[in-house]
Structures are given as structure tokens and as C-alpha cells.
Structure 1
Amino acid sequence: MTTASTAVHAPSTAATASRGAPASQLRRTTRFALASTTTTLRKGMFLFFTVALPILMFLMFNEIFGKEAMGEGGETVGTFIMVRMAAYGGLGAAVNAGAIIQLERTNGWLRQLMVAGLTPRSFVLGKMVAAMAVVLPALIGVYLAGALVAGIHLDALEAVRSLLALWIGMLPLVLLGLVVGLALKPSAVGAATTIGMMLLAVAGGLWFPYEMFPSWLQSISRFTPTYWVGELGTWGIIGEDFPMRGLVTLAAWTLGLALIAALLLGRAARSASRR
């Protein structure tokens, strides 16, 4: 009788556990993402280099070059500088927030989270959500400086559309940070992220106008994600033809980096489970 009862109730118990597991994993992922976001935003140097520094650079460049009229809609050069400096701040936030994963691997945090029940997939999803969250202050900070200090006037639709385009465009850069953090040793991550950010900022036209580049560098620039992030942000303000090539380029970068990150994460998870 006991055996029969157990047999009857076992499927029900298994089904209940199966139904409860996804919700539990979702809660763990959400809590991990919130904790990662809070921890990152508490880092003073992180906020300086990703929020304060782009604002200062924008205000400096705007003071020198920003008053010149540009575009048929009455936009000034300062408007385009604002978009590029916001993209630069977002680039720093995205890459550095993703690369923090290296520290969590080396100090054993990844293994502790796995023991506590967080799957590798939930771990990387939580890191991506946290990274995309900490990108927002970098973008919004520059736009607020543009409106409140530099006197750049955008209507609500232009501001929201431009910010949203910049924010979505940061996804492949977050994945780039994850790939760097998963692929390199801790001693190399800092140098790799700094050099990589500088190259992407310069080649993507975030520091210098794309039109100043020689033809060969312009050709390279149009394959970089940073160039198209800036173009999407500009499209959000001007509202001309949507840069579909940019969307395709960013999607290709996102897919390629996601595949690489998945392979590297599998290796990291196997290494952590053996410790």
C-alpha cells in the first residue's frame, strides 16, 4: 500500500518540482542581477570613468566646437558631440561591467554561486542585465549635461529615441566585455579592456569625426559596433532613413560574441566545478 501510494504521488511531486524550478531560477537570476548592479554602481572609479569623464569631455569639446551649426534641422555640432560622448561613456560601462566576470571567476564566486544553485546560463544572464543597467547612467548623464549645461534642446521623442537606440546598441559591447573577462587572465584584463576601448572609440568616430579619417580607416570604421552605435544615436535625433546596415552589423557582432561567450562560459563552469 505504501509503495503504491508512493508511486502515485511521485509523479505529482516531480511535476511540482519541475514547475517550481524555473521560477526559483528566475528569482535567483533576478537577485544576482540586482546585487551585481548595486555592487558595480558603488564603485567610485567606475562611476568616474563611465559617467563623470564623458560628461567632462563633452563639455570641453562642446565649448570649443559645439556652437557651429550642422544639419538641416538646426542641430549644432554640440548635438553630435553629445551623442558620441554618451556612446563613449556607454562603451566604458558596458565593457568594464562585462569584464568584471574575470574577478568573480578567480576569487571563487562563480563556484559558490553554482553550488548555491545558480546555473552558468543564469549567471551570464544576470551579468548581462546588470551591465545593461549600469550603462544607463553613462548615457543619461551626458544627455542631462547637454540639456542643462550646454543648452542643447531636444524634444521628448528625440531624446528618448536616441537614448533607446544607444542603449540597445550597447548589447554587443557588453558581450565583448564578457568575452574578454572569460578569455583572459586577471593580469591582462585591465590592459585589454583599456586598449580595446581606445581602439573602438577612435575607429568608431567617437573621439574624432568620421569624415576626418582616411578612406581606408573609414572602411574599417563601418565594420565596428561603436560607429553604428553613434549612428543609431544620431538617427534618433535627426529621424532620417534608418541605418539598416548598422542594425545588421550590430546583430552580427552580438551573435558572434554570444557564441564565443557561451563556449568560454562552458569551459569556465567546468573548471569551477572541478575545484
Structure 2
Amino acid sequence: MNAILTQCKFEMIRIFRNPYFVFWSLFMPILFYFIFTNIVNTGVPDQGEWQAYYLMSMTTFSVMGSAIMNFGIRMVQEQTEGWSTFMKLTPFPSWAYFASKMFGQLIIHLLSIVIVFLAGYLINGVSLSVSQWIFSGIWVLIASIPFLALGSLVGTMKKVETASGVSNIIYLALAIVGGMWMPINTFPTFLQNIAEWLPSYHFGSGAWNIVQGTSPDWQSYLILIGYLIIFLLLAVSIRRKQEA
């Protein structure tokens, strides 16, 4: 257990030293939040509701980026540098190594949620009930797991450059089409139909529902669980082929 906790500690230190994490997971979401709630005139009549809505959008945007890019690219780096191979030669179990990476990443997600929530409160004085803060934070944390599975799929790539480029495209495409930058009701009909099947839309939708006083829709649970299974199966299948 001490070895796992130590590995988790090392994982978190490495993440905070990663410029990708600081830029994409903290700086960019907070910057976008400030711009679209204080500078850009969105024409929304209820500014308080818009500020809370967009805070959830940027929180999910932050966590999704950390899961896809930081987690995935870091796995590729460890593979290319031989660290993963070295860990297999140690007494440390493979399952414990992967579990510590997942746990460490989830702790980082929790810290990201707290930081972006705090930014929303400090920038716009976003006011939610205690239960809304807690349950929206829990939703974002737990619903980020399918994106960790997507990050592990990115982590099966052989080159860091390839993983970086692909993860950037996936991340931004999911964020934009999934309605994290702007509500999908502003999109053409065909894009709205696509968005409703994306994990990013249902990731954000659950948080949006909570701040509006309702619960995440059952479809969001099903679609996110479905993507989790698909991403995990693909990642495990590819890794087995690579090891063979």
C-alpha cells in the first residue's frame, strides 16, 4: 500500500510539472471563462445563470483535457523512454502501477475542479447551493473516467508527437461539437444531432442539469458507460497486440 501511495505522489508531482496540464487544464479554461462571461456579449438575459452554466462547461473542458492529453501523452512518453518496461521488471505489480496512475490522475481532476470552481466564484461571484457545488463536482469527477479510458487509448500510440497531435484534435473536436464552448442549440441541426451522441456533450450536460436544479439524464449515464467500455476494450486489445 505504501508503494502505491508513493507512486501516486510521484504521478501528481509529474503532472503539475507538465506544461500541458498548466496550460490546457487550468489557464485556458479559466481564460475562456473570463472572456465569455465578462468580455463577449452573449446576449443572455440571465447573466447569473449563464455564468454558472459556463463555469460547468469550463470545468468539464479542463478535466477532459487533463484526462485525454496529459494522461495519454504521459503513457506514450513512459513507453518510449522505457519506463514502463523497467516497471515490469520490478516487484511492483503491473495492476498497482496502472491503478496508481489512474488514482493520481483522479486526484488531479479533483484539484482542477476545485481551482476552476474557485475561479468562477472569484471572477463572477457564482452562487450555488452547497449541494449543487458538491454534486456537480462529484459528477465531473466520476464522469471523467470514460475520458481516462480514451486517454489510455491515446497512450497506445508509439510516438509522442503523434499522440500529441491526435489528442489535441480529439480534445478540441469533442469540446467544440460537444457544446462546451457554446450551447449546441446555436449549431446547425446536423451538428446538434452529432453532439447528442458525443461523450463530451453528456459529460457537460450532467453538470448543467445539476446547476439548473435537476439530475443528470439517464441517457448521459448510459452513453458515458458505453464509451467507457468501448475505449477500454480498444485500449486493452491494442496493448495485447503490441506486447505479443
Task: Report the equivalent of 1:158.
Answer: 132
Q: 2:10 aligns with which of 28, 32, 35?
A: 35
RMSD between superposed Cα atoms in Å: 2.0
Task: Report the equivalent of 2:197.
Answer: 223
Q: 1:208 aligns with which of 169, 176, 182?
A: 182
Aligned residues with identical type, % of pairs? 21
**Partner letter of residue 88 of structure 1?**
F
Mark the CA change 1:148 to 1:206 in structure 2 (over 3 Å): closer, same or farther: same
Mark the CA change 1:246 to 1:65 in structure 2 (over 3 Å): closer, same or farther: farther
Distance in structure 2 (CA, Å) of the matches to 1:257 and 1:230: 19
Task: Report the equivalent of 1:196.
Answer: 170
**Partner letter of residue 203 of structure 1?**
V
Distance in structure 2 (CA, Å) of the matches to 1:124 and 1:35: 13
Q: How many residues align?
A: 242
Runs of 4+ in 1 over 4 A off after TM superposition: none
Structure 1 length as normaliser, TM-score? 0.81
Task: Report the equivalent of 2:123.
Answer: 149
1:127-173 CA distances to partner (integer Å, 9 max, x unpaired)? 22222222223322221111122121112111111111111111111
Distance in structure 2 (CA, Å) of the matches to 1:104 and 1:122: 16
Stretch of structure 1 that moved more, 83-92 or 124-133: 124-133
Structure 2 length as normaliser, TM-score? 0.91
Task: Report the equivalent of 1:46.
Answer: 21
Written as runs of structure 1 = structure 2, the 5 A alignment for 1:5-16 is none
On the 8 A contact 1:96/1:177 being kept in 2, the answer is: yes
Does residue 1:89 correspond to 2:62, yes or no?
yes
On the 8 A contact 1:201/1:226 being kept in 2, the answer is: yes
Distance in structure 2 (CA, Å) of the matches to 1:267 and 1:130: 27
Deviation at 1:182, TM superposition (A): 1.0
Q: Which has the higher contact order (CA 8 A, sep 6+)?
A: 2
On the 8 A contact 2:68/2:147 being kept in 1, the answer is: yes
Task: Report the equivalent of 1:20.
Answer: none
Mark the CA change 1:227 to 1:201 in structure 2 (over 3 Å): closer, same or farther: same
Mark the CA change 1:254 to 1:50 in structure 2 (over 3 Å): closer, same or farther: same
Distance in structure 1 (CA, Å) of the matches to 2:18 and 2:143: 24
The 3-state SS of whatever aligns with 1:182 is: coil
Deviation at 1:184, TM superposition (A): 4.2
Mark the CA change 1:217 to 1:115 in structure 2 (over 3 Å): closer, same or farther: same
**Partner letter of residue 28 of structure 2?**
L
Written as runs of structure 1 = structure 2, the 5 A alignment for 1:69-218 is 69-70=45-46, 75-99=48-72, 100-218=74-192
On the 8 A contact 1:235/1:242 being kept in 2, the answer is: yes
Mark the CA change 1:217 to 1:160 in structure 2 (over 3 Å): closer, same or farther: same
Where does the alignment leave 5 or more consecutive residues of structure 2 unmatched? none
The 3-state SS of whatever aligns with 1:206 is: coil
On the 8 A contact 1:98/1:176 being kept in 2, the answer is: no
The 3-state SS of whatever aligns with 2:124 is: coil
Distance in structure 2 (CA, Å) of the matches to 1:48 and 1:131: 16
